[in-house]
Structure formats: C-alpha cells, structure tokens
Amino acid sequence: MNTSARMLRLLSLLQTHRYWPGGELADRLEVSPRTLRRDIDRIRELGYDVDAVRGVSGGYQLRAGSTLPPLLLEDEEAIAIAVGLHTAASGAVAGLEETAVQALAKVIALMPPRLRRRMEALRSQTDGVPWGGGPVVDATVLSVLAQACRDDEPVGFVYTARPRDGRAAEPTQRRVEPHRLVSLGRRWYLVGYDRDRQDWRSFRVDRMRDATTTGHRFRPRELPAADAASFVQAGIRSAPQRYDVRVRFAADADTVAAYVGRWATVEPAGAGCVMHMPSDSLDWPLMVLAHLDSEFTVEGPAELVDAVARVGERFARAVPRGGGSGRGSIKG
C-alpha cells in the first residue's frame, strides 16, 4: 500500500474509534511499529493533533486541532449529514442557508449513487411537517444549482412564472447561466443570465422543475448590480410574502418576541404590542396565536381573521358547552 493511501486509512481509523493501541494500528496498516510512529508524526506535521498515551494500555487519539481534518465518513453518517443539511438549507437556522446549500452540493456531488438514493428515500420523510409554511424547495434542484453556480455551468430547467394579472403562466424551458443562489425571507432565488431572453433574471427555485447541467462551462458575466441579494430584492419588491400578518397582542412585546423569534417583528404598542409577520401560510401565525396565552386582535389579513373565526367556532363546537375548566367534560 502507498504511503498516501496508508495515511488516509490511518486517519480513517483514528476517526472511527477514539483510542487505538499503536500495535493494532501497525497490524492493520501492515507496517512495523516504527513506521507507524513515523506515520503518526506525519499526521501531526499535517496539522492534526494526535494525542498519545504512554504506558500499559496506552494508545493514540485524534483530537480537535487547529483545522478540521478530512472527514472520512461511514455511509450512514454521510446520509445523516446530507439530510441534516437539507433541513438547514430550507431555513431552519437563519443565515445558514447559503452555506448549508454549498456544503450540501459538495456532499451530494461526491456521494455514490447508492447513497444518494437512500438519502432521497429518507429525505422524503421530512416533508409533511409544514410548520413554517411556504413552498417546499426540492433539495436536489437546489444542490444542482449551487454546484452550477460554483462551477460556471449553464443550467436548464422548466420554469413556471408567477401568475400575472390573475392568469397562470405556462411552464417554459429556460437556459440560464447561473450566478448565485440567494435565500431571502423564506424563499430561494437563482440569479442568472437568461440565455434565451438575453437578460439578467431572478428565478424562484420553488417554481423550477427538472434542473440539469450540461457539463460545459461559460465565461462568467458581470452582474449589473451591487450584489445578487440586492438584485433579487429589486425584482421582488412587488411580490413579497403571500400574507402580511399583523396582530395586536395584549401581552408585552418581550413575551411575544421570545416566542416568534426572528420570524416576525414585534413592537410595543400601548399596553401590549403589535406583531408583524410576513408569511406564506396561515398555519404558523395560527399556532402562534393558539400558543400565546394572550388576548389579541387580528389587524390583517382578512384570511387570517376568517381562519381565526373558523378555528374558534370549530374549537367551541368540540368542547361541551360551558367547558373550559371543568374536568367532568372529558368523554371516554
């Protein structure tokens, strides 16, 4: 076996089990103990911290050093990472979306097909808990786009444009030189140069289907804007989130803010506060209203007023008249 190959294997061994007696490592790598010691030295020279314990039942241990060593992952671990990144990319943690997609693209691009299949199978389970609402973005599309951006490869996809004047648009095939992915609000946008329309556009990723790359490359053009994010913002100022939720609470601003976190802005108003939350779905606002034990008034939109009324009536029908504190009201 090659020296380089042996080093990788040694790194891998050191990552799977914390303590390794030198003798066992030497056996596994089929070298003499002396050479193993030299290998450990080499790993140290690469900047990775290897801790050694002397004496009886001593051994080696890879520790956190100054840089992250190359990760040698089991199949299962790789899948867990990919699935985890997928949720991170879909906006579970603010400000992490872009990096998560970048990392996801890297991992997916290197994953053997069999792992990719298993990942897809598992990933499909994450849907179905629409706790935040909003259109679901296909992680595969996202990672194809991320990689295409990174590598300057044109992408093709089927795009269904936003309905204009109430008429739904037909899906059309696009060929685009991708520039950057931007995560704004709770949506993903691709900024790129549309080859057919010969102009810069931003595309909503959740409206794309069948994204593919050709494998060729293009010479990057200069974006006619300060940065991709502002380009997107300039384009979508007319079509923000679907609902513009505004609710007045009797509770104080801190209590409300602590619960809704970064998904909404909360401002003190009189004795209570006003919450402002752009949202694609009414589920999340409704949950906030149900959870916060505070009187409130919905200031808009009308759909939320309707929803609150409907839920209120349905809940009222669900419990026996006069219920609300009594124990005897339970059935069964």
Partner DNA sequence: CGAAAGAGGCCAGTTCCCGTCCTCAATCGC
Partner DNA sequence: GCGATTGAGGACGGGAACTGGCCTCTTTCG
Which residue ranges make up the site for DNA (CB under 7 A)?
2-4, 6, 21-23, 30-35, 37-42, 52-60
Interaction of residue 131 with its own copies, rule CB under 8 A: yes
Q: In 3-state terms, what secondary structure has residue 157?
A: strand
Nearer to its own copies, 91 or 159 (CB): 91
User: Which does residue 87 touch among DNA, its own copies, none (CB within 5 to 8 A, set by kind)?
Assistant: its own copies
Spatial distance between the Cα atoms of 245 and 243, rounded to a whole number of angstroms: 6
> In whole angstroms, how close is the CB of 41 to DNA at the nearest point?
6
Beta carbons within 8 Å of 127's beta carbon, 6+ residues apart: 136
Helix 22-29 to helix 3-16 angle (10° resolution) is 140
Sites for its own copies among residues 141-160 (CB under 8 A) = 147, 150-151, 153
Name the nearest CA neighbour of 36 among 58, 15, 62, 7: 7
Nearer to its own copies, 160 or 294 (CB): 294
> In whole angstroms, how close is the CB of 279 to its own copies at the nearest point?
14
275 to 314: interface string for its own copies, x by CB under 8 A:
--------x--xx-xxx-x-xxxxxxxx--xx-xxxxxxx
> In whole angstroms, how close is the CB of 38 to its own copies at the nearest point?
11
User: Which does residue 35 touch among its own copies, DNA, none (CB within 5 to 8 A, set by kind)?
Assistant: DNA
Interaction of residue 185 with its own copies, rule CB under 8 A: no
Provide the terminal-to-terminal Cα distance of the chain, rounded to the nearest Å.
70
Nearer to DNA, 9 or 106 (CB): 9
CA 83 to chain centre: 9
Q: Out of 30, 55, 125, 238, which residue is the one contacting its own copies (CB under 8 A)? A: 125
Nearer to DNA, 40 or 277 (CB): 40
The answer to whether the CB of 31 falls within 8 A of the CB of 6 is yes
Nearer to DNA, 26 or 205 (CB): 26
Spatial distance between the Cα atoms of 182 and 180, rounded to a whole number of angstroms: 6
Beta carbons within 8 Å of 105's beta carbon, 6+ residues apart: 142, 143, 144, 146, 147, 150
Contacts of 172-177 spanning 24+ positions with Cβ under 8 A: 174/203, 176/201, 176/203, 177/152, 177/218, 177/220, 177/221
Nearer to its own copies, 190 or 282 (CB): 282
Spatial distance between the Cα atoms of 3 and 59, rounded to a whole number of angstroms: 21
Sites for its own copies among residues 216-275 (CB under 8 A) = 217, 246, 258-259, 261-262
> In whole angstroms, how close is the CB of 21 to its own copies at the nearest point?
11
Strand order in the sheet with 272-279: 265-269, 272-279, 243-249, 296-300
Spatial distance between the Cα atoms of 74 and 85, rounded to a whole number of angstroms: 16
Interaction of residue 45 with its own copies, rule CB under 8 A: yes
Spatial distance between the Cα atoms of 15 and 62, rounded to a whole number of angstroms: 7
Interaction of residue 28 with its own copies, rule CB under 8 A: no
User: Which does residue 129 touch among DNA, its own copies, none (CB within 5 to 8 A, set by kind)?
Assistant: its own copies
Interaction of residue 4 with its own copies, rule CB under 8 A: yes
At 297, list the tokens. Answer: 């008034």
Residue range at the interface with its own copies (CB under 8 A); choices 121-129, 161-169, 183-191, 220-228: 121-129
Nearer to its own copies, 159 or 243 (CB): 243
